[in-house]
């Protein structure tokens, strides 16, 4: 059972759980309708319950909720509902950072201070499914607040969704997207060839770089070393790969494992020569 501490609107309340005497946000259609402070309520099957004990990159949930409008909390909850339909169970603790972002996005848009993000296109490709779900925010914001969101804001929402799926901080997802963009640019620079983003080999390269950076950040290492083979078989691609690994490592402030050079070289060779054979 819960004791209502504050009614936010018809669909959400802040309540104290009897079992642990801690505060929670309870959300669901009609969850707050007709409720009064100190009234005891139970959780319905359709309700979502969020702990206010969470500490996020943006701050303490208990403090954050004071500056987030109930409608933005509802919109973030709806995005997570749709993401859960697409991806299955996810970490709903991202609700507060996402709602906080939506709150400030609405303010920016209303003040004609819309942001641009040079990584939006990379986010759209790299996190395609997340971006597709995030696009639901366009209709939600227009229907509820009459606000037109742009693709850059959708990209940021996609990163929040990705964070909820992969248990990866939004800042880390941005770092990965930036590293992918840098790597692709470096491949083009060192090979003198513009990469066709519509090719299968590009998609494989992009995803390989994504997980290569994630491994560097987590400390995970590849077991099979292909460096000797790749250096002899494709010396130019191997040398380009070596330079790129050094530069990307510098950008993310983590040294990439030497074994990564051979694997990246394989993908560089494929994308440059537009090979269609199976990827690693």
Residue 278 in any domain: the answer is no
Q: Name every residue whose Cβ is closer than 8 Å to that of residue 92 and which is 6 or more positions away in sequence.
A: 48, 50, 80, 164
Residues 134 and 184 in one domain: no
Q: What percent of the chain has pLDDT over 90?
A: 62
> By three-state DSSP, how is residue 55 classified?
strand
| Percentage above 70 pLDDT, the chain | 98
Q: For the domain that residue 99 is a member of, what is the CATH number?
A: 1.10.1790.10
Task: Output the CA–CA distances (angstroms, integers) from residue 113 to 105, 137, 142, 257, in the order listed.
Answer: 9, 18, 18, 42
* DSSP-derived secondary structure letter, 279: P
Domain-ending residue, one of 167, 196, 217: 167
Q: Give which of 19, 145, 137, 22 is closest to 82, Cα–Cα.
A: 137
Render pLDDT for 35-69 as a digit per residue (tens, 0 to 9).
999 999 999 999 999 999 988 777 789 999 999 99
List Cα–Cα distances, 123 to 117, 143, 155, 273, in angstroms. Answer: 10, 25, 6, 25
My answer on whether 181 and 238 are in the same domain is: yes
For residues 162 and 78, membership in a common domain is answered with yes
Contacts of 233 (CB under 8 A, 6+ apart): none
pLDDT at 278: 38
Based on the fold, state whether residues 80 and 153 are members of the same structural domain.
yes
The answer to whether residue 279 sits within a structural domain is no
The total number of residues shown for the chain amounts to: 280
How far is CA 160 from its chain centroid? 4
- The total of structural domains in the chain comes to 3
116 shares its domain with 61: yes
Using pLDDT thresholds of 50, 70 and 90, give the confidence band for residue 177: confident
Q: How far apart are alpha carbons 94 and 157 in whole angstroms?
A: 11
pLDDT in tens, 228-251: 999 999 999 999 999 999 988 988
What range defines the domain where residue 118 resides? Answer: 55-167
Kindly state the tokens that stand for 173.
Answer: 């997802």
Co-location of 267 and 200 in the same domain: yes
Against a cut of 0.85, is the pTM above it?
no
Indicate whether 280 belongs to any domain: no
Task: Kindly state whether residues 137 and 224 are assigned to the same domain.
Answer: no
Average pLDDT of 105-109?
A: 92
Task: Determine which of 26-30, 49-53, 146-150, 206-210 has the lowest per-residue pLDDT on average.
Answer: 206-210
């Amino acid at each position: 059972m819960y004791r209502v501490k504050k009614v936010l609107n018809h669909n959400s309340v802040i309540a104290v759980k009897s079992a642990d005497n801690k505060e929670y946000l309870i959300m669901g259609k009609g969850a707050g309708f007709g409720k009064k402070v100190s009234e005891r309520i139970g959780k319905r099957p359709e309700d979502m319950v969020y702990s206010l004990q969470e500490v996020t990159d943006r701050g303490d949930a208990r403090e954050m909720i004071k500056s987030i409008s109930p409608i933005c909390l509802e919109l973030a909850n709806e995005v997570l509902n749709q993401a859960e339909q697409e991806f299955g169970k996810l970490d709903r603790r991202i609700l507060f950072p996402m709602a906080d972002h939506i709150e400030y996005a609405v303010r920016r848009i209303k003040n004609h201070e819309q942001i641009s993000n040079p990584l939006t296109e990379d986010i759209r490709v790299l996190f395609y499914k997340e971006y597709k779900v995030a696009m639901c925010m366009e209709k939600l914001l227009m229907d509820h607040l009459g606000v037109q969101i742009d693709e850059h804001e959708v990209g940021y929402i996609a990163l929040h969704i990705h964070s909820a799926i992969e248990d990866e901080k939004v800042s880390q997802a941005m770092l990965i997207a930036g590293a992918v963009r840098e790597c692709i640019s470096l491949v083009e620079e060192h090979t003198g060839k513009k990469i066709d983003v519509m090719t299968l080999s590009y998609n494989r390269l992009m995803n390989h770089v994504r997980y290569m950076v994630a491994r560097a950040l987590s400390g995970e290492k590849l077991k099979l070393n292909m460096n000797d083979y790749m250096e002899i078989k494709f010396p130019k691609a191997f040398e380009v790969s070596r330079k790129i690994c050094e530069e990307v490592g510098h950008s993310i402030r983590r040294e990439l494992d030497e074994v990564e050079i051979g694997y990246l070289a394989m993908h560089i060779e494929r994308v440059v020569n537009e090979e269609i054979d199976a990827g690693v």
